[in-house]
Structure 1
């Protein structure tokens, strides 16, 4: 009888997680006794936990088991900032990105998506840049269209996304960079049933409120937030059956073009907190492993797949034999792969074991 070792390992990891959570056998005291920030622990993991895909906790306080990576390149996307190793997510998040990128090209003529941060291999707090993105259900999409060529590794590290704001004015869209296609892209992202919220800069939200003439049913899911003028942030709901995942409160009824939006254009959101004379600034507090859901201790220390390729969504990898053995740096590997023939299945599809 043949045994699928990878499937067996996933089942073992899933069973261990379930047992630990249900019986309360986990203890995080030893792991966090020295006060090591959880972001350092999770940021050091290069590969995911081999287990059934599960999001634990809340978007800003949790972790991810059984995460998969989106390929660095697809027919309708390119991943940016590869050195961060944040191309990982729950299979439902990765699948949505692939579908959204295809729909954006086919239905609204967007050239393709440039992907920002999704999550770390095992989720958890990040070393820099985000409070959320911890459970594999958040993804950043650049507002810069994908160029019609494959970017080099160095370009993906150095190219900056384009802000939609006129920096000489307060919360004002720059008409020289904003286009109706940007509006269609954001509204398409919000239209998917599994999407819970799409975060954008308040100026972008106001622009949509003032100019969107299509179906406004999804406009309420587009939420104003600080920053987010270079990219928008997609957040999906907890997958069905994810008992350890906590959804965010449902967005209020309506299109969100009301007093809640007007508040962002007052002084209140931008006022600096008042300090008492002689008061010292509080020391920053970083979450430790003990602050996260108990399952995250097992997720952090669980078994990993043999390679990144085994945990990558679909089959969009280039044929390994076409990459020269001497290509040891990631820059040279990407350069060599650009000339290599595609593998048998050029369009990424869900891995059968994860459907």
Structure 2
């Protein structure tokens, strides 16, 4: 059931106050629901007519106020231009694939609504909406449906969809995160196994262990800690090497020395059957260092994600003084563009005529 209990004074779609003398209403879930404006009424009607009324039962937050601007809907056809698509559309077999930035997604019900509506369109292979990043991965057959014909229904639902162009920095971030997850996973699994063996050795939970069992546990600990040292801890060695080449002492230099010294000392103790081993310290130390850096990378990424979404505010097309529309990235020095009232300026330049406020 929906968590909202709006009365006739609040819009059932967006939750805002209804202006006096407003009579916009839509039948939703068997009752007449009050709306604040024609935009919310149109969006709610689209949702109901599409058979997606369940959205209002499962949403956890009100939708954004709908503002259906005809000029914006018409401008979506610009994304069918191949000069524009080459920056964000990729070929995936016989299908096209694009990453979209979705504005207005607030809960899982929003993602469900968009996915259900888009899946109904002929030619759409798949669409997956991520409520955390406010992005959607779209795959479609260009021979059956145009990109603008997919974006328009999303806008009619009250959301704003625009291409998201992942830059080289973001692609590098995803590769680094994937590698960190692999390294962190191996270190975590090895840490659990080695710590269990170390617990048995230190506290003799199985009673007095024979020398053969103790030596067996040491060799098993060596086997588990070796991939941690050679693979999981590799970023520390690479950073330490760069620091030494630059004749500086960063944090990774003492970390690398400590890990290598502890490993080879433990290896010697295992082979010679003497002294103490520190395999559990190697695995645990590496795991927690990787975990800290992984969380740091995620925090930095989340801080940068909001600014990355601002890239969609850059207009994809520019209108030349002659009336011709070209890709904004194709503009050359000396071109004269026309910017209508309410439009975003596509490039830096000087005003040659007209004025703005």
TM-score (norm 2): 0.24
Larger RCO, structures 1/2 (Cα 8 Å, 6+ apart): 1
Larger radius of gyration, structure 1 or 2? 2
